[in-house]
Each structure stands twice: as C-alpha cells, then as structure tokens.
C-alpha cells in the first residue's frame, strides 16, 4: 500500500520537472529565434532570392500572397537599417536620403531622418523646418551641416500633387546620377524576369480550367525552367545558349493564356503585387546608392590618407627643416593676412597657390592655415617642402592654442565652414511648382575666435579650403567697409523673410539677403568693438533651446549675428555652386575672382563635377614626388 501510494506522487513530481525544463528551453529558444529573424531581415533583397524561394515552394503556391508580404517586410527592415546608418554618418543622405517624418516630429517620437515642422506659415512665404543634426564622424572633407526642406508638397505642371523632387529627398546624388547615367545592362535577364512575372500571374487561373491541362503544363514547365535559370545566373553573359528558344516558348505560352477567359481579379492582384515589390525594391536600391554616394563624399580617399601619412613621416625624418625665421611677419598688421581653416593638405595648397599666382605682389602675403593635430605635421612638411613665390605660410594647430577666455573642450575641435542644403521657392515666383535647391555656407564655431587668435591684426581675409582664386585679391585691403564687420557676397534668392518662423521672434530686416562664406573680408577691430563673438555665443545658447539640433542652432546664430553688420561685396568677387551645380555659365566662371566649390561634389573627389574640376586641378602641384608615390590624381 505504501509503495502504491507513493507512485502518483513520484509521477506528479516528474511531470513538474519536465514542465519546468520545457519552459526553460522555450525561454532560451524564443529570443534566439527572434534575434536570428532580425539578422536575416537585414540582408539585401534581390530577384535571385525571390526566385529561389519560389522554386523551393513549388508552382502550387503561385496564387498565394504570403511571399509578397514577407518580401515587403524584409525590405522595410533593410530600409530602417540603412536609415540608422545614414543618420550616424551625417545628413546623408540628407539628403540626401531622408524621408518626411512630420507626424513623428509632432508626436515627439524618434525620427529616422530629418525632423520636419508642419506649422502653418505666418505669412505667404514658405515655412522652412529645422535642420538635421550634423554628424560627429571625422572626415577629410567639409561636411554638409544639414538640410532645410520645405514641408509642403510640390505641384507639378499638370496641377496634380506630387511628392518631393528627387533632389530634395536625395540631395546632389540625383544630379550626379543623372550626369553619370549608364546604359542598362543585362537586358535579356530583365526581359526574362518580366515574362516570368506575367506567367506567374496567369498560371493560377489557367490551372483551374480543366479543359486546358496542356496549356497549364506548358506554363508550369516554362516557369520552372526560368526559375532554374535564375537560381544559377543573374547576368546575360551567364545565360545558357538556348535561352532565345526558351524565351520564345514562354512568349507563346503567355499569348495562348491571354486568349482565354481567366479570373481577372487574380491576375490583377498578382500584377499589383509585382508592381509593389518592384517599386519597393527600386526605392530601396535608390536609397542604398545615395547612401554609398554620401559615404564616398564624406570619406577621405585612400590616396589622400597615404599622402598625409607620408608627409608626416618625412617631417620627423628631417626636423631641422622646421626653422621658423619669419615670426615677425605673422603679427605685422601692415601685411595682407589670409586665414584658412582646413584639414586637407591638397585643398589648402590649391587655395594658397591660386592666390599667390594671381597676386601682383606676393611678398606682403601671409597665409595662416589652422588645422588639427592629426594633420598638423603633414601640413608643416608640405609647405616647407613646396614654395609659393615669396608668400609666408604659417601653420597653426588648433589643439595647441592656449586661450584662457574660452572653453578648451569646444576649441579642440576644428570646425570648418558649415554648409546647409536649402530647398525653397523663388521670391519672384512663389507660386511656381518647381523647388530650388542651393547650398548655403556660413562660418563654423571656430571662426568666431579669430579676434583672440590673431589679437595683433586689424583685418584678415578668410578663405574656405574649397575655393580657387582667379584674380588679384589685394583690392580687398583698400575696401571701405563703412563700419561693417563682415564683407561677404550675398545670396539674394533666399532672404531672411523666408525664414521668419524658423528664426523666431528676433528683430531683423525681412528683405535682408543671406550672406555666404568662402571669401570674407573681416574687420577685426570692429569685431572686437561690437563684441560679435559674445553675441554669437548668446544666440547659440538661446537658439539651442528652440531648435532640435546643434546644427540648426549654428545656422540660426550665424544668420542673426551678422544681420546688420554685413558689407555686401560685388557678386563678381565670388561665384558659388561649383560643388553641386552642373549648369553654371562658363562666362560667369571666367569673370569671377573666386570660385567656391560649395556642395557635396568637391573638386578633390572622384565625384567632383568634371567640367568644374579643371579650374581646381591646374593649381595642384601634380609633379610632387609624394603625390606620385601615393597615386594622388583627383
């Protein structure tokens, strides 16, 4: 009795143990399956994957729509993964590749792209939303600080609503892709895929017609043959020799299928599914291409990295070359002082070389190149190794400046001029459907410490490192700035009045033009008297409370700091747009004193605009031995 009484107890205990073990194993398997599912979702989608999945399922599943839904979900995961990478690399794909997330911005949710503002305009001028946050990733090229895009949709010429233009969504990548458009490859493969899609659409309906089993078998056989071909090849060169005959057989079978009355709803669903999949895949590859374009824009070319390393090594091999005997010229206010912020050896060299070549007198020219610690020694050796007539070159390391008045943590970072991609309608034709996209360049934060860095100087000319000088700049030193601080070329296609809601309730002249960096005559005496640096820092602090990103605050502070202190230079002094505009007039380029390559397509990159790059390359010292060793050929 005792033994019989204990048996149920033991069985109950064993059952409990089995149940607990089962729960433990299940708790381990579920997260593992979930993680593996996410990992697989990030792989790039393509036609071959679709064909292989269909081949494994068999022809009997052609009338199901499950594979279409799963494919769309996979591409959605991939797009989200790309968006995360884009946001980390910068305004990339800002545009260059970012979508409108107005609702997310309103709800305060985390956005995958640009933060959009859907506020109603306070006037008849378009409202511009906030800008993207600037990437912190270090690159050799000037970064685009952000994108300012109008939230409203553009009406096309037919009066219908259309989405953002390609350039607004994908930035200068669209211009580049059009200019470098290639002929479509593997036309036969694409034709075969189209025929396979159509055959799949008709097969389920034909298979339901008992009187046409022969046609049903013929379609099924052709579909299986095509799937087998696509499981082994994706290019025309790999197609079998008998592919023309197989294509003719497929076309004949499809022609027969079209003669019969079939379930139109089923065919319609299939073709719509194919269209949706194709559009999703095309948009995914568009974003992927734009992402790779932006990655190339923001990445230092390998040859440039090699050159920088070689120059650094040579500097430490010959330290005796660094004998500075021109210190007195660095602080002589009677000379012509030029300031260049750059971390690109070749870019800074071209700016100085082009300026010196066109100068009537180079002995009174002093170039102050401010760079970071990573490029300091390479810069030093390059300008010791190369001569530029009688001009004096002074290389400064931002990280070595001991300025007690300023937070050193912010000063340690070399900030080049900020660029913002702005899309807007013309003031003269505000109702026109076509949006205009331009790149606006303004000072970086380090520019606002020029009076303290050069405390002995009265005037300096600030040159961006993406400019080329074509005329003598000495007349700038006799310019009467009428008490203004910043002599700059203005861009009047965009005015402060168009940014009313973006700039807030600050007092400013609505008709004032946007000023551009690139070539700026700066009166340091007036700068100190009007305390421009303190005004900028206050605007940066107060603006940061109203805008969503640091870059937005930089643009806000730049525009308002110089709202009444800009002395407009004649438009012939500087011509902008050579880094993004293919359609600049050749005569305008010839007449301009300074060419500014603002935009993504810098002249030292392979992505640069070829017909504009020639003006930059002719001032490059291409016979330098280190350039040859590193195969530098922009």
Is residue 55 within a helix (H) or strand (E), and if so which, with residue range?
A: helix 47-57
Q: Quick check: 256 pLDDT over 60?
A: yes
The CATH homologous superfamily for domain 302-629 is Spore Coat Polysaccharide Biosynthesis Protein SpsA; Chain A (3.90.550.10)
- Can you tell me the distance from the alpha carbon of 486 to that of 50, in angstroms, rounded to the nearest whole number? 60
pLDDT digits (tens, 9 = 90+) for 593-606: 999 999 999 999 99
pLDDT digits (tens, 9 = 90+) for 171-210: 888 888 888 877 767 888 888 888 888 888 888 888 888 8
What are the C-alpha distances in Å from 460 to residues 356, 367, 505, 590?
A: 16, 10, 33, 25
The domain ranges of the chain are 187-298, 302-629
pLDDT digits (tens, 9 = 90+) for 481-513: 999 999 999 988 888 777 765 666 566 777 888
- Can you tell me the distance from the alpha carbon of 427 to that of 195, in angstroms, rounded to the nearest whole number? 50
- Can you tell me the distance from the alpha carbon of 508 to that of 361, in angstroms, rounded to the nearest whole number? 41
The confidence score (pLDDT) of residue 332 equals 94
Q: Quick check: 417 pLDDT over 80?
A: yes
pLDDT digits (tens, 9 = 90+) for 89-133: 443 333 333 333 333 333 333 332 232 222 223 333 333 333 333
- Can you tell me the distance from the alpha carbon of 564 to that of 189, in angstroms, rounded to the nearest whole number? 62
The confidence score (pLDDT) of residue 512 equals 82
The confidence score (pLDDT) of residue 68 equals 38
- 164 in Cβ contact with 154 (< 8 Å): yes
The confidence score (pLDDT) of residue 504 equals 60
**Residue that wins the pLDDT comparison between 129 and 432:** 432
The confidence score (pLDDT) of residue 550 equals 66
The confidence score (pLDDT) of residue 563 equals 84
Share of the chain above pLDDT 70, in %: 70
Lowest-pLDDT choice from 30-39, 79-88, 305-314, 411-420: 30-39
pLDDT band at 237 (very low <50, low <70, confident <90, very high): confident
**420 backbone dihedrals φ, ψ, rounded to 5°:** -130, 130
> What is the DSSP annotation of 440-490?
EEE--GGGGGHHHHTTT-SEEEEE-TTEEE-S--GGGGG---TT-SEEEEE
- 561 in Cβ contact with 532 (< 8 Å): yes
DSSP bridge pairs for 489: 569
pLDDT, averaged across the chain: 75
The confidence score (pLDDT) of residue 334 equals 94
**Residue that wins the pLDDT comparison between 161 and 430:** 430
Question: What is the DSSP pairing of strand 365-371 with strand 392-397?
Answer: parallel
Q: Quick check: 338 pLDDT over 90?
A: yes
Lowest-pLDDT choice from 14-28, 350-364, 481-495: 14-28
- 544 in Cβ contact with 490 (< 8 Å): no
In b/e form, how buried is each residue of 581-598, taking b as 16+ CB within 10 angstroms? bbebeeeebeebbbbbbb
DSSP bridge pairs for 90: none
The confidence score (pLDDT) of residue 15 equals 72
The confidence score (pLDDT) of residue 126 equals 32
- Can you tell me the distance from the alpha carbon of 530 to that of 88, in angstroms, rounded to the nearest whole number? 38
The confidence score (pLDDT) of residue 279 equals 86
């Amino acid at each position: 009795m005792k033994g019989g009484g204990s048996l149920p107890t033991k069985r109950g205990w064993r059952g409990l143990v089995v149940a607990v073990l089962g729960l433990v194993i299940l708790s381990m398997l579920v997260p593992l399956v979930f993680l593996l599912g996410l990992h697989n979702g990030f792989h790039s989608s393509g036609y071959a994957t679709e064909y292989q999945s269909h081949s494994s399922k068999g022809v009997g599943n052609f009338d199901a729509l499950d594979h279409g839904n799963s494919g769309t979900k996979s591409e959605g995961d991939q797009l989200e993964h790309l968006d995360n990478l884009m946001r980390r690399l910068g305004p990339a794909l800002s545009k260059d590749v970012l979508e409108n997330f107005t609702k997310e911005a309103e709800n305060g949710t985390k956005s995958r792209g640009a933060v959009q503002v859907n506020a109603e305009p306070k006037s008849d001028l378009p409202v511009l939303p906030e800008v993207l946050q600037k990437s912190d990733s270090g690159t050799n090229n000037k970064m685009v600080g952000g994108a300012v895009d109008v939230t409203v949709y553009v009406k096309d010429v037919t009066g219908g609503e259309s989405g953002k233009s390609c350039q607004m969504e994908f930035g200068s990548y669209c211009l580049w892709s059009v200019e470098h458009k290639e002929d479509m490859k593997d036309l036969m493969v694409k034709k075969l895929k189209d025929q396979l899609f159509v055959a799949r659409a008709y097969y389920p309906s034909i298979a339901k017609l008992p009187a046409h089993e022969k046609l049903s078998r013929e379609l099924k056989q052709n579909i299986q043959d095509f799937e087998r071909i696509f499981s082994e090849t994706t290019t025309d060169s790999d197609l079998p020799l008998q592919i023309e005959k197989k294509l003719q057989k497929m076309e004949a079978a499809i022609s027969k299928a079209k003669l019969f009355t079939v379930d139109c709803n089923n065919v319609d669903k299939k073709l719509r599914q194919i269209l949706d999949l194709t559009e999703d895949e095309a948009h995914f590859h568009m974003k992927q291409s734009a992402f790779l374009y932006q990655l190339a824009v923001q990445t230092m070319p390998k040859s440039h990295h090699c050159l920088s390393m070689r120059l650094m090594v040579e500097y430490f091999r010959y330290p005796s070359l660094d004998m500075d005997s021109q210190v007195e010229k660095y602080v002589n206010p009677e000379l012509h002082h030029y300031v260049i912020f750059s971390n690109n050896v070749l870019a800074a060299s071209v700016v100085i070389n082009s300026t010196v070549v066109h100068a009537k007198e180079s002995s009174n020219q002093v170039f102050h190149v401010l760079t970071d610690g990573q490029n300091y020694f390479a810069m030093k050796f390059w300008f010791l190794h190369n001569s530029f007539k009688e001009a004096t070159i002074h290389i400064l390391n931002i990280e070595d400046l001991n300025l007690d008045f300023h937070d050193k943590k912010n000063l340690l970072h070399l900030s080049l001029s900020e660029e913002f991609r702005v899309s807007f309608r013309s003031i003269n034709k505000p109702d026109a459907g076509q949006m205009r996209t331009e790149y606006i360049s303004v000072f970086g934060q380090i520019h606002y410490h020029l009076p303290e860095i050069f405390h002995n100087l009265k005037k300096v000319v600030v040159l961006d490192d993406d400019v080329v000088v074509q005329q003598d700049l000495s007349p700038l030193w006799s310019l009467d700035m009428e008490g203004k601080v910043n002599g700059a070329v203005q861009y009047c296609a965009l005015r402060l009045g168009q940014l009313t809601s973006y700039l807030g309730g600050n007092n400013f002249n609505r008709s004032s033009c946007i000023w551009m960096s690139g070539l700026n005559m700066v009166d340091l005496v007036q700068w100190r008297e009007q305390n421009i640096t303190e005004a900028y820092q206050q605007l940066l602090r107060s603006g940061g409370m109203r805008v969503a990103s640091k870059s937005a605050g930089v643009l806000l502070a730049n525009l308002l700091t110089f709202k009444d202190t800009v002395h407009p230079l004649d438009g012939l002094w500087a011509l902008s747009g050579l880094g993004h505009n293919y359609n600049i007039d050749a005569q305008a380029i010839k007449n301009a004193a300074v060419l500014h390559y603002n935009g993504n397509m810098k002249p030292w990159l392979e992505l640069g605009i070829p017909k504009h790059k020639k003006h930059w390359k002719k001032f490059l010292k291409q016979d330098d031995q280190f350039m040859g060793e590193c195969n530098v050929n922009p």
